[in-house]
Amino acid sequence: MSRYQCPDCQYIYDENKGEPHEGFHPNTSWNDIPKDWACPDCAVRDKVDFIFLADSPSKETQLGVNSQLANSESGISDATPTGMAVLAAELVIPLNQENKNEGCAAKTEVLDQASTPQVVRKSSTRKKMRNK
């Protein structure tokens, strides 16, 4: 079954779900919808303007994804974008914590060096020159 999107409001007609409020039961094909049908959200009149998105995932595909999720340890498949984000976060967070500790020590040293006033050094040199 396929899905079609309204170009104005991004409403999606999914053939699997149909549109019960409009009288189209689930599994109603796009070809069975009258040509003068209007978008239920924004009333775009031309059915021709709707954009073909893709075929809806079949029940077999959904079952395959669900079993893949159930078999993974964390419940999130590594192949999904969410799974990849979780993996990346697990790798990056410990590195950031180590770098923060090292960065704090380095910043403290820089601050200690910068806190020595340069003006005092110049003024003490001037005082020595005046005394000569």
Among residues 35, 38, 54, the alpha carbon closest in space to that of 6 is found at 38
Compute CA distances 34 → 8, 25, 28, 88, 109, whole Å. 19, 14, 11, 48, 75
Enumerate the H helices of the chain as residue ranges.
Answer: 59-71, 81-114, 118-131
Q: Is 104 a known ligand-binding residue?
A: no
Q: How far apart are CA 100 and CA 95, in angstroms?
A: 9
Q: Residues within the annotated binding site?
A: 6, 9, 39, 42
Question: Which segments are annotated as binding site for Fe cation?
Answer: 6, 9, 39, 42
